[in-house]
């Protein structure tokens, strides 16, 4: 990341550039309801994070730049202590074209329970198991606006390895993942250049996206091995893969119908997967300002039993409360139910602003009836409650 820091310095020192500074600092406490399943793991911990951001423009706002950093200190899990450049980006607006060069974090997809088509950024897994947090990705990105659709062309020079918890961390695999032994199918390893393309357009109430990616898979295979002391560990292996993705969202009155589908080809296997479902919103329930959205999604994966992901034949059922108040209060809660072995996980996410500068966040996660052969078996003792208070400036 040394070159990325150099690029960030260039952004901040650009002649004539006008900058605005913002960000947040947050303290987070996490407590687990049961004793750890594995040695060395903690039962509670406190962390401190800092996320500063700079934005600027020049050339009559035809050129924009942004820099966003992320740092976390953790008193229990050294593997969670890390720093990252989420964004260090130059944006050039030229008529119907937008050029983005540098490091960026972007999102593709429409589903709530999982994000199949979202393949550009690497997951920052030590930040959470929901896959929402990402590492910054170096890229050259051209977005072209046409009357018949929007085209995104991406060249991705440089690969980011996934972060994993240390031996002391909770919510980890039974064996520690030894990232120092990470291996690649490509001889270029992390220097492999990936490519991606996406077409998107809105047809009335339908939003449609079709994407294609070829390069290093962001999802490593975890292979058994040994560390330098002979202890059993898991070694991440990053394959080359090609993926075709389709995402669609149709809004009809109070309904939102969503679909994500992928077809992926890699050396280990070729497979298809999809997630499909709907959200129906009840507005102004019980004659209040509160809106309540019901969410249902089903996920399927064509890989053989035990080789698929965590969402191979699962149903997600949830609800979203929007309080429409001055504090922007909201709650999202839902179950993920495995239709084959009846394993369940339950999650609640809630947030509320306090005053003009503070925001509180609550997160509750539980696991129950998890089969011994399930990918989530290592998390069966990891029910937790997380509270965060952040100050925004």
Predicted local distance difference test score (pLDDT) of residue 40: 84
Distances (CA, A) of 290 to 24, 27, 320, 353, 391: 28, 29, 10, 16, 26
Q: What angle do CA 197, 137, 299 make, to 5 degrees?
A: 65
String of DSSP letters for 111-122: -SS--SS--SSP
The DSSP call for residue 12 is H
SS3 at position 131: coil
* Domain 2-392, second-level architecture: Beta Barrel (2.40)
String of DSSP letters for 186-225: STTGGGPEEEEEEEEEEETTEEEEEEEEEEE-SS-EEEEE
d(CA 380, CA 359): 30
State the 10-residue block means of pLDDT for the chain, 393 residues long. 53 60 97 90 93 92 94 86 95 96 97 96 93 96 98 97 92 93 97 98 98 97 94 97 98 97 95 97 94 97 76 92 97 93 92 97 94 82 97 97
d(CA 392, CA 49): 12
d(CA 100, CA 144): 12
Predicted local distance difference test score (pLDDT) of residue 68: 97
| Mode of pairing for the β-strands spanning 221-226 and 255-266 | unpaired
- Smallest CA-to-CA distance from 282 within 251, 257, 253, 259 is with 253
Predicted local distance difference test score (pLDDT) of residue 15: 44
d(CA 321, CA 295): 11
- Residue identified by tokens 């309801």 is 33
Is 336:348 a contact under the CB 8 Å cutoff? no
Write the CB contacts of 29 (distance below 8 Å, at least 6 apart in sequence): 44, 45, 46, 386, 387, 388
Model pTM score: 0.91
Q: Report domain extents, the chain.
A: 2-392
């Amino acid at each position: 990341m040394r070159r990325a820091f150099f690029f960030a310095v260039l952004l901040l020192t650009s002649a004539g550039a006008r900058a605005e500074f913002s960000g947040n600092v947050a303290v987070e406490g996490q407590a687990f309801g049961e004793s750890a399943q594995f040695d060395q793991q903690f039962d509670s911990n406190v962390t401190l994070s800092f996320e500063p951001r700079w934005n600027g423009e020049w050339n009559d706002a035809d050129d924009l730049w942004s820099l966003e950093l992320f740092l976390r200190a953790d008193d229990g899990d050294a593997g969670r202590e890390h720093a990252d450049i989420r964004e260090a980006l130059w944006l050039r607006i030229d008529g119907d074209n937008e050029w983005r060069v540098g490091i960026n974090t972007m999102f593709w997809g429409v589903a709530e329970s999982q994000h199949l088509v979202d393949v550009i950024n690497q997951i920052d897994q030590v930040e959470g198991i929901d896959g929402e947090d990402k590492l910054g990705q170096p890229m050259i990105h051209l977005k072209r606006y046409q009357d018949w659709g929007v085209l995104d062309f991406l060249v991705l020079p440089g690969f980011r390895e996934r972060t994993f918890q240390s031996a002391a961390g909770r919510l980890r695999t039974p064996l520690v993942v030894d990232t120092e032994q990470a291996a690649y199918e490509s001889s270029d390893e992390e220097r492999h250049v990936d490519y991606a393309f996406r077409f998107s357009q809105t047809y009335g109430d339908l939003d449609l996206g079709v994407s294609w990616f070829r390069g290093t898979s962001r999802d490593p295979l975890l292979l058994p091995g040994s560390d330098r002391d002979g202890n059993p560990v898991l070694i991440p292996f990053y394959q080359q893969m090609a993926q075709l993705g389709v995402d669609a969202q149709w809004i009809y009155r109070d309904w939102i119908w969503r679909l994500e589908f992928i077809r992926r080809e890699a050396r280990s296997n070729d497979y298809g997967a999809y997630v499909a479902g709907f959200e129906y919103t009840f507005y102004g329930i019980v004659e209040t300002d509160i809106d309540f959205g019901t969410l249902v999604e089903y996920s399927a994966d064509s890989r053989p039993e035990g080789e698929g992901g965590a969402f191979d034949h699962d149903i997600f059922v949830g609800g979203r409360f929007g309080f429409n108040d001055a504090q922007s209060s909201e709650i999202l809660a839902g179950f993920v139910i495995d239709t084959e072995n009846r394993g369940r996980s339950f999650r609640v996410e809630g947030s509320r602003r306090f005053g003009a500068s503070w925001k509180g966040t609550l997160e509750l996660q539980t696991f129950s009836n998890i089969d011994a052969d399930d990918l989530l078996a290592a998390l069966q003792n990891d029910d937790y409650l997380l509270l965060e208070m952040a100050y925004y400036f």
